[in-house]
A and B are shown apart, each in its own frame.
Chain A
Amino acid sequence: MFDFLQGYNLLGAFWVTVQLTVYSAIGSLIWGTLLAAMRVSPVPLMRGFGTAYVNIVRNIPLTVIIVFTSLGLFQTLGVSLGADRFTTINFRLAILGLTAYTSAFVCEAVRSGINTVPLGQVEAARAIGLSFPQVLRIIVLPQAFRSVVGPLANVLIALTKNTTVAAAIGVAEAALLMREMIENEAQLILISTIFAFGFICLTLPTGLFLGWVAKKVAVKR
């Protein structure tokens, strides 16, 4: 039943999916946290930018963003992100698009975490003379992150599955291999099931592990 799997590099394709996920996750964790900092900052311009970014980017379909990175950034504006072969360019563009999109969700998760830190702590920190960046870095964010591990795990799982959209610009990840196999083997349902199972293998342990971490690190109030 499964002999048609021979000749296809299933693990290789899922490895690209994992790479897309990890790089985009790191990128969006950094950019999303910066956005959250902007949204709670005392500078109106930064707050305005953060709010506008989140509300615009999270409401654009991911496919549009990913296809734009290729047609708009690469083809029209010539942004090749320091690579000269299509495979590398597309891989990097996909990470850029996924990061830009996922950051909006990370930002909102982190911001909800910031709101769980009692106001008194911020006031106390200000009273001993800490600046806004110091308050955020030393007092607020460490507690905020501990309370949003669960929501961030959700975002990470969504990101893992969203990497399939990168097939739209030809990144050779799992969804692209799935299309090739369906084209060659005429076994739509069986092949889809195999790939769905592959994604469950990636996301289920992630969810269970991060759920355990979330319980472990949660701030008891």
Chain B
Amino acid sequence: MNVHRTGRTTVAVAAAVVLSFTSAGLASGASADVSRDHGEDEITVGIKYDQPGIGLKTPDGTYTGFDVDVATYIAKELGHEPGDIVWKEAKSADRETLLQRGDVDFIAASYSINDKRAEKVDFAGPYLLAHQDVLIRADDDSIKQPSDLNNKKLCSVTGSTSAQNVKDKIAPDAQLQEYGGYSECLTGLENGVIDAVTTDDSILAGYASQAEFKDKFKLGGFKMSNENYGIGVQKGSDLKAKINTALEKMVADGSWDAAVKKNFGPAGYQNEPAPKIGVIVQ
């Protein structure tokens, strides 16, 4: 028995030694985009890469959008220059995992605060109060209130909260088309197969502000839900308090208003005033 145990321990120790060598070898050979290997000044931020107005990676490799502006401001307050920010894509389904594993320092990716998510991660903010809304064709006068949606054809992204809201609450009788992305919905809206695209007004405003869709679409202005966008950080992280301070400063010095105007302005988006830190509108 004793011999066995010693044998096993030896094997375990040997395995551990081999593993640590391997990982050391990997770490030294790995490229700079492995987030945790970055230098002192770098900070890794998770954003969306595919939402115009919120977080978008442009073809020339730069990043634009409201979340990007907020994240850049926070990073500056935390002592990181814009050049030291390592951007990382945070798709909706990956966000909790990215934070739990420590792949990113914080996430600003149209991340709505809710109870289930708050069990897994901590939220700073909220920094924006969005509402579920519809985007309709500019010449469409038949949709004036949410109840008008019931005999219409709606579109949203597969599995998203907005799509589920339509099915369960807002317009159970409406036909709902779900696609992998909003661009497919917008194609349908443009050629008349779809009457309204629905998701958070901030995202819709971002799309409507794009040059190619200008003057074609308009926002319905229905406040069908409350989405409190927060900055996701690892559970128990001391970043939460620092980010909250940064957000308060951003609102106080006018940078927040400037960022809203810059990213959502062209769509005629009536934004809510900056939310109070820690106040979640149900």
Contact = CB atoms under 8 A, between A and B. Distances in A.
Nearest to B96: A186
B237 interface: no
Nearest to B116: A186
Contacts, number: 69
A184 B116 contact: yes
Interface in A173-203: 176-180, 182-186, 188-189
A71 interface: yes
Contacts of B179: 67, 70, 168-170
A176 B159 contact: yes
Interface residues of B, number: 27
Contacts of B178: 167, 169-170, 176
Interface stretch (B20-28, B187-195, B251-259): B187-195
Interface string B152-186: 01000011110110000000000111111000100
Residue of A85, A177, A184 contacting most chain B CB atoms (<10 Å): A184
B119 interface: yes
Interface SS majority for chain B: helix
Nearest to A165: B180
A183 B193 CA distance: 27
A121 interface: no
A170 B117 contact: no
Contact of A76 (B97, B119, B191): B191
Interface in B70-86: none
A170 B116 contact: no
Contacts of A178: 159
The 10 closest A-B CB pairs, nearest first, are A179-B159, A170-B178, A180-B159, A86-B175, A168-B180, A75-B193, A186-B117, A182-B93, A186-B96, A186-B116
22 contacts: A70-B179, A71-B184, A71-B187, A74-B193, A75-B188, A86-B176, A90-B177, A167-B158, A167-B159, A167-B178, A167-B180, A168-B179, A169-B177, A169-B179, A170-B177, A170-B179, A177-B159, A179-B158, A180-B159, A180-B164, A184-B161, A188-B96
Interface of A: 67, 70-71, 74-76, 85-87, 90, 167-170, 176-180, 182-186, 188-189
